[in-house]
Chains A and B, each alone.
Chain A
């Protein structure tokens, strides 16, 4: 098969995963920062919750990374 097409097969999923995860993380961090500036006294709890939420979102991007790595291994990049 065309090598450029094969490279695209590996690149497009990770790009899509990264973009969607970035949008979700933007929402999480904006909301958490809003809450922290409004109520600085609960900032540590908010920070912990923000980290957990970000980790859950990030896991989805990591899944695409893993799938991309598997594809890249199959096509021998």
Chain B
């Protein structure tokens, strides 16, 4: 495995594709397993607890940014958007744990994959903003209040993709270089340490996408709330004497 492969898709294109398909297949299989059988609307039990625990975090995130919008619509649209990114990136990162020589190259250690993920995140943000605020509102967010705000869409793509690629690819390179020197023992410790960035980078990608989305679909009506004085009281209201 050559280290220079990270920039190209030509030489190892099939590895990227096969491993990305493997990660998504595992993800889809697990999702189908968790949602299989009868689901109860009351107190959940068994697999349903795990599934609801996994989705709950994103529902909370979506609910936070739904203020001023139709809440059910925002939650129903944003939750799968964020959840897909998190679990796809997480499973792609965790592929490194499979003890087979070619299969264990995580797809997210190729720049092409992370660039595709970041592009779909930013373009998806624009599409979602256009759905919730209308195309005019989404365009206005690109030029208002700062007329150069559209530049941040491009830097978002760059920073999201380079961060993910740098962390996972760098971790993989370290692993390969160390394993070439000491093939037994030490790579195990590196794998254990590598679990942390795998989770954290998937979480960070999702959280940053969520915060970009929150600022994109932020509703103007919030300004009225900001005009209230201390403790949420309106300025004109007389202070209650006690």
Contacts and interface: CB of A to CB of B under 8 A. Distances in A.
B59 to A, nearest CB: 15
Interface string B125-167: 0000000000000000000000000000000000100110111
A62 B160 CA distance: 11
A58 B207 contact: no
B11 to A, nearest CB: 14
Grouping DSSP codes into helix (H, G, I), strand (E, B) and loop, the A interface class, with mixed when no group exceeds half, is helix
Interface of A: 48, 51-52, 54-56, 58-59, 61-63, 65-66, 69, 73
Interface in B38-80: none
A7 to B, nearest CB: 15
Interface residues of B, number: 16
Interface of B: 4, 6-7, 159, 162-163, 165-167, 170, 200, 203-204, 207-208, 211
B119 to A, nearest CB: 17
A17 B90 CA distance: 26
Nearest to A48: B207
18 contacts: A48-B207, A51-B200, A52-B207, A52-B208, A52-B211, A55-B204, A55-B207, A55-B208, A58-B163, A58-B167, A59-B163, A61-B166, A62-B170, A63-B166, A65-B170, A66-B162, A69-B6, A69-B7
